[in-house]
Structures are given as C-alpha cells and as structure tokens.
Amino acid sequence: MASVVPMEAPMCLVENRDRKLTVNPKALQILTSIDKPVVVVAIVGLYRTGKSYLMNRLAGKNSGFALGSTVQSETKGIWMWCVLHPLKLDHILVLLDTEGLGDVEKGDSMNDSWIFALAVLLSSTFVYNSMKTINHQALEQMHYVTELTELIKTKSSPKAARKDSAEFVGFFPDFVWAVRDFSLELKIDGYPITPDQYLENALKLIKDKHPKVQRANLPRECIRKFFPKRKCFTFDCPIYDKKLLTCLQNVQESQLEPEFKSQTDNFCSYIFSNAKPKILSGGIMVNGNRLGKLLETYVKTISSGDIPCLENAVLSLAQIENSAAVQKAAEHYVALMALKVNFPTETLQDLLSVHTLCEKEALSIFMKHSFKDENQKFQKELVQILETKKDGFIRQNEEISTKNCQTQLEHLSQSLRQAISKGTFSVSGGYNLYKKKKEEIINNYLQVPRKGLKADEVLQKFLQSLAVTEDSILQTDQALTEQEKALQDEQFKREAAEKEMLLLKQQQVEIHQNMEAQQRTFEENIIQLKRKMEEERNKILEEQNMILDAKLKEQKKLLEEGFHEKAEEINTQMENLQKEMREAESKKSSWWLSSLDGLMAILPNAGKFVELGLNAFSRFFK
C-alpha cells in the first residue's frame, strides 16, 4: 500500500480501551510506509488544557485533532498526524497528540504513566502543556517524569541497568514546556526575564532535607537530568469570549488575541526550525518504518506486563532492519548486474569488472541501511550472498556462451556432416578435401562475433567429436603414403595438445582473475566497514561528549545552588562514562581482528588476504 502522506486528518495510533494499549494497524501501516526521516513532536499534559490546538497549528490547520469544549477528555490514547515538514523538505513531521493526563473517568493513573512514557520514547521533541503557571502544583503534576526510571530500562543486563540519567539522555527527546493562559509578569526581583529563565528558575532545587521538600525536588531533578535541552513558551488566553473559546477551531485568526497569535507563531516557528529528527542512541536515524517497529515493540512489551528496554528494542529493530538491508543490497546487485552485463562476455574479466562495481554499490546500500551489526553477522551474510550470486552470473555467462557457440558450429558444420554421411570423403584424395572443409568451418566460426569466453573450449570439443571420423578418412585415403598419414596424424595430435594447453592456461588465468575479484571484495568490505565504523564512532563520541557537557552544566548549577553532594554524584557519573569510553576504545583492536577473521572465513581464497587485512588493521589503529 502506498504511503498516505500527507494525511488529510489525524488517526488514532495507540488505542486505549479498558485500560489496555493496542496499536491501530491502519495507522501503523501509514507510519511504516514512510521511508523518510521523521521529526516527531509529542504533546502531553492534563486534559482540558488545549494541547490539541497547538498540534493543529503545527499541522497548519485550525482543526484536525479533537478540541474538547466540555469537562470530558476528547483524545483517547495517542493520535497521529503525519504531514510534510514545512522547512525540511526531505523529512516528515509526525505529530502525536496524547489523551489528557489525570482524567477522572479513567480511574487508573498507571495508564497515564504509560501514555507519558510512550510519548517520551517515540518523540524527538516532547512538549508538556500546563495551565497558568509553573508552580509547586504544576511540578507535582509532572510526577510522571519521576516514574520514567521505573517504566523504562536502558540496558537488558541487571548489572548494567543502572538508573543513571546519562543512559536516558542518549535516548530522550528535547523538552518544551508550554504554559497556557499565563497571566503573570515575567520578572524576578524587578528585572524582566525570558520564558526560558522563568522555567530554569522554577526548576531550582530547594535546599532542605525535609522529606516533603525532597519529594518536591524530585520532578525538578528528573527534568534537569533527563532533558538537558529545555525550552519554555508562555501563552496568553487565546480569546476572552467564553462562547468563542468553546469552539476555538471555528474562530478566525483575526478574532484571536494578537499576543496569543504571536506567541503561537513563535512556538510553531521554533518547532519547525529546532525540532530534530528522531535519532536513536549512537546516531541511528529513524524513519517512519523504524518508528512503527519500535512502537510495536514498546506496546507489546507493556501489554505483556514487562518494562520496555531501550537496548533490546534497538537490537530487535536492528535484526529486522539489517536483514532487510541485506535483501535490499542483494536485489540491487542482481538488478544492476542484469542491466550492465551484456551476455555473453568475451572474457571472465569483463564480467568480474562489472561485478566489482555492482558489488560496491550493493555494499554501500547495506552500509547505509544497517546499524548495530554485531560481529558483522549481516555483512558476512551479504558477502556470502553476493559471492553466490556472482558465481550464478558466471555460470549463466558460460552457459549462454556455450549454447551460442554450439549453435553456430552446428549450423556451420551441417554441410560437412552431410558430406560425411554421403561418403564424399571416402575416395582417393578425400582427406585433403575433408581437411579443407574443416578449416573453412573453423575460419567461418572464428569470424562469428560475440561468441563469449567458451568459444575455444566449444571449438575444441567440436574438433574432438570429429577425431574418429577424421582418422578413418585419413587411414582409408589411398592417395596418401603411410609416411604422409603418420605425419598428418602427428600434426593432428600436436595441434590438439596445443589447444588443450591453451585451454588450461585460460582456466588458470580465470582462477587468478576470480581470486583477484575476491581480493577486491575483501578490500572493499574493509574500506566500507572502516568508514562506517569511523562514522559510528564519531556519532557515539559526539553523543557522549554532549552527555558529558550536559552533566558538567548540571554539576555547575548544583554547586551554585549549594548541592555539593549531588554535584559529586554527577562527577562520579562523568567519571564512569569516561571510563566506559576508554574501555570501548581499548576493545576496538580485538573487534576489528574478529571482523577480519569473519570476512576471510567466507571467501574461499581469503586466507591469501590475511596480510592485506592486517595491514589495513595497523593503518586503522595508528
């Protein structure tokens, strides 16, 4: 089914019925059909706070997501609207509107917690929508953020699954707090402040060890740790006429309060310009297909009563995506070879040269679409498949050449076989007549274009098929002396031996050419693997440095606020992360050698490339 993007209207993506979450297959089909990178903006907040209006504005519409005007929550589950990104032309903007938190009709706060957690897991920008002000009550209502470490695991190993915010930062989205119907003056101690400064001031920790204060600090701490990139927008009341406020989707822009309109435009402009594409830890770009598969994994895990594990979800996705990448690369290779190879080729090298180019393209496609290919399992699988496909093309090339040559010789030798049947050469002087006719056939055969690489071999077998008849004609020719017959017989055997030697040399050349092609395969795999490894390493380093930078800023704030113990905890986390980075660097050499071993085990003659691989290895780790 073709992708229905842009969607004309939103659709329920995650249904919430009887306190159970299920994925809507129709919406999932639309999402998974998107092969472009996605910018995912999710909005959460208490019900009846105007979340849907902001999402409609991001979609460029006044209506779409349901705007409730009663005390009942309109949005149930998570609704999705996929639209073309207004600025990033090669991206799709995926808008996720969640049901209101704290709906008294649900009677199950755990359901709210999972909706909140899913919005965090799926989005690249997470918008929290609240009313009036960011005060103690508003922060208490953000208790869902304090539950994230209980609802999400970063690692599957119990030992590795530390509740360390550094792990979450690599997966979590950017954070935007939208404060609606804001009527306060943005000032602190008489000085004007920005909405961002207002948010940061509200997130300051209270220095008191009383349990109540510690509980009040918890959501502040979690927001600061999990979401190092934060933004705040304040919005005036959109319109002061209550009758119009209940049907905001029908209100003309000219009827909106000018300040609210300006604030909404600024919010949309910020999202369009600054909301990043969805990227998994390690710099893995997410398209709609990948996002849909992650969603399926998360909801399935939640429905089973288990806790979603980010590491497992990504590895599970990698298995699916890498398998698809192998298939996509192999199909591209076959299609390209079929397009570029003009059967039959005159030499094996002609075919192998095309193979090398097609293989390089196929490998590039695999590298582009694969990620987290542990021990190069899927890359090795692709190498094996391409070797098999190459051998198939070689056989096809040989079979076409053989068939064409046999057809040509059958046609050219028809008159000769008829003459033999009639006994034309069973007369005195018949051998010379036969020999002249045979040479004529050979000369005509040599003039036939595009016979392919089996031309000499087929000719040799043709001549061998005539050997008994030729010897009979020679021995019965009364015009020749016994000495002349012996000389002719010797010449015939010498020519046959020479042709056999030429065929043997050709076979040796082809074996050498095939080995050279395998060497090029090995080299290309090393080159592309090295390039991908460097790209992934740079992305991981960039991510880790980003986490370290965020930790350093948080540590500085804690010191300024007088929380020295918490600042020391941050310092310990940074040291642990730096240690992990050093350990990862130290493991590179053994990883690289095992990768070489795996590739060499697949190629039949790869043992001859050990020195090449070790040289590449030494250059890589200089």
pLDDT tens sequence across 300-319: 998 888 888 888 888 999 99
Query: CA dist 535 to 282, 324, 530, Å?
Result: 10, 21, 9
| pLDDT over threshold 50, residue 208 | yes
DSSP structure class, residue 135:
S
Which of 234, 284, 243, 215 is closest to 134 using CA atoms? 234
Cβ neighbors of 161 (< 8 A, separation 6 or more) are: 153, 154, 155
Cβ neighbors of 532 (< 8 A, separation 6 or more) are: 367
With vertex at residue 178, the alpha carbon angle to CA 173 and CA 182, rounded to the nearest 5 degrees, is 165
Q: Are strands 125-131 and 38-45 parallel, antiparallel or unpaired?
A: parallel
CATH topology of domain 11-306: Rossmann fold (3.40.50)
Q: Give the pLDDT confidence score for residue 40 in this predicted structure.
A: 97
Average pLDDT, the chain: 85
The token pair that represents 327 in the structure block: 């298939």
The token pair that represents 594 in the structure block: 């095992």
How would you label 34-59 residue by residue, b for 16+ Cβ within 10 Å and e otherwise? bebbbbbbbbbbbbbbbbbbbbbbbb
| pLDDT over threshold 90, residue 582 | no
- Global pTM reads 0.82
Edge-to-edge order in the sheet of strand 125-131:
20-23, 11-17, 78-84, 92-98, 38-45, 125-131, 174-180, 230-234
| pLDDT over threshold 90, residue 7 | no
- What does residue 252 show for φ and ψ, rounded to 5 degrees? -75, 150
Which of 538, 528, 517, 520 is closest to 379 using CA atoms? 528
With vertex at residue 45, the alpha carbon angle to CA 228 and CA 124, rounded to the nearest 5 degrees, is 40
In percent, how much of the chain has pLDDT > 70? 85
Residue pair 563/205 in contact (Cβ under 8 Å)? The answer is: yes
Q: Which amino acid is at 344?
A: P
* Rounded Cα gap, residues 275 and 85, in angstroms: 11
Q: Which amino acid is at 230?
A: R
DSSP structure class, residue 252:
-
Q: CB 560: neighbour CB atoms within 10 A?
A: 10
* Rounded Cα gap, residues 451 and 337, in angstroms: 20
Q: What would you measure as the largest C-alpha separation in the chain, in angstroms?
A: 130
The token pair that represents 18 in the structure block: 């009887």
| pLDDT over threshold 60, residue 611 | no
* Rounded Cα gap, residues 499 and 462, in angstroms: 12
- What does residue 17 show for φ and ψ, rounded to 5 degrees? -125, 135
Q: Give the pLDDT confidence score for residue 178 in this predicted structure.
A: 94
Mean pLDDT of 562-568: 87
Cβ neighbors of 309 (< 8 A, separation 6 or more) are: 152, 153, 154, 155, 156, 301
| pLDDT over threshold 60, residue 621 | no
| pLDDT over threshold 90, residue 605 | no
Q: Which of 40-49, 146-155, 430-439 has the highest mean pLDDT?
A: 430-439
Q: Over the stretch 495-527, which tens digit does the pLDDT of each residue have?
A: 888 888 988 998 899 999 999 999 899 889 989
| pLDDT over threshold 50, residue 408 | yes
* Rounded Cα gap, residues 579 and 182, in angstroms: 45
* Rounded Cα gap, residues 404 and 381, in angstroms: 35
Residue entry with tokens 């490998």: 363
- What does residue 187 show for φ and ψ, rounded to 5 degrees? -145, 145
How buried is 383 (Cβ within 10 angstroms: 0-12 exposed, 13-18 middle, 19+ buried)? buried
